[in-house]
Amino acid sequence: MARITYIEFGGKSHTVEVANGLTVMEGARDNGIPGIEADCGGACACSTCHVYVDPDWVARLPARDGMEEDMLDFAFQPDPVRSRLTCQLKVSDALDGLVVQMPEKQI
């Protein structure tokens, strides 16, 4: 179980516990957190679960694969360093304390 903090574009913060084995996207969906739409359901076929990872966490996450890189090209204002698709981030104890911020909108 990991405690993950999701910060809406307007600044409202939601800290929830997410079970190991789920994705960061599923944690947002299951807890009703606004700002992550996940239109493709986690298949890495869209960019509607895009977030900006807190700078302290960027180097601690697994590298993006080619498919995630391609989908981030379609995200709203992607950041070359901090942008991630939450459907590609598998929750484990190592993610306890992760902080992500939602973009202004998902496209």
| CA atoms 60, 19, 74, 65: torsion sign | positive
Q: Is the pTM of this model over 0.75?
A: yes
3-state SS class at 60 = helix
pLDDT (0 to 100) of residue 64: 97
pLDDT (0 to 100) of residue 60: 97
pLDDT (0 to 100) of residue 92: 98
Q: What is the pLDDT of residues 12-51, one digit of tens each?
A: 999 999 999 999 999 999 999 999 999 999 999 999 999 9
Structural domain boundaries of the chain? Answer: 2-101
CATH topology of domain 2-101: Ubiquitin-like (UB roll) (3.10.20)
Q: What is the pLDDT of residues 45-93, one digit of tens each?
A: 999 999 999 999 999 999 999 999 999 999 999 999 999 999 999 999 9
User: Cα–Cα distance between 50 and 85 in angstroms, integer?
Assistant: 5
